Amino acid sequence: MKQPSMKVMRWMLPLCLVASVAEAQLYKSVGPDGKVTYSDTPPVNQKIVETKSLSPSQDVTNFPYELKLAASKNPVVLYTTTNCKPCVDGKSFLKSAGVPFAEKSVKSNADTDKLKQISGDIELPFLTVGNNKLHGFNQSEWKAAISNAGYPESNRLPATYSYPQPESLAPVAKPDPAPPKPVVTPTPAPVKKPENDNGFRF
């Protein structure tokens, strides 16, 4: 069998790396005591009821190779809340650095409980870069984290890229719509004939 040339192998290796990259996952499980737990690692001896990807929802196919590899291998998720200046500063920093990220909004008690499960704290902003967790906004720490995760030093995002809208961390499940009520057509009442009706009409 003919062996591939070194030139072909150099092209194949990056493709294999991209194909083998796994996205970060968030696991929702229920323990024997009925307690719901959220974790970024598969739970042991607990029933998994939901699994979600933590990677950015935007398509990365048009990203430059270095950025595509970093976003696939170490997706970035930013957890924010309203009236939070550090959250605004952190978001601005990520955008200026050209880092694609998914934003999770923490507003309700359910959001806060889920944040505690994920981060072990309620400090915001909270940032995950792959498996790396950072509490609070510290520009030097965030810059080091995204650099270590392989993100380019300069903004390489395509000009057409738009960041996804923030999503609730613990969205309220919508109830199933009620089935439509059957349409009942009323039966017309029988027409009574006059007592002296002989059938003639004038």
Angstrom distance (rounded) from CA 27 to CA 42: 6
Cβ 149 vs Cβ 129: under 8 Å: yes
On average, the pLDDT of the chain sits at 79
What's the average model confidence in pLDDT over 21-25? 45
DSSP letter string over 79-100?
A: EE-SS-HHHHHHHHHHHHTT--
Which of 7-11, 27-31, 94-98, 166-170 comes out lowest in average pLDDT?
7-11
Is the pLDDT reported for residue 196 higher than 90?
A: no
Assess whether pLDDT exceeds 70 at residue 192: no
pLDDT of residue 59: 63
Q: Give the per-residue pLDDT at 105.
A: 97
What is 127-196 written as a DSSP string? EEETTEEEES--HHHHHHHHHHTT--SS----TT--PPPPEESSPPPPPPPPPPPPPPPPPPPPPPPPTT
- Angle, CA of 141, 145 and 146, to the nearest 5°: 120
Classified as helix, coil or strand, 73 is: helix
pLDDT tens digits along 141-185? 999 999 999 999 999 999 999 999 999 999 877 666 777 777 777
Where exactly are the structural domains of the chain? 54-168
Give the pLDDT mean for 127-134: 97
Range scoring the smallest mean pLDDT among 14-28, 44-58, 77-91: 14-28
- Whether domain 54-168 has CATH 3.40.30.10: the reply is yes
What is the Cα–Cα distance from 185 to 100, expressed in whole angstroms? 57
Closest C-alpha to 151, from 184, 129, 172, 169: 129
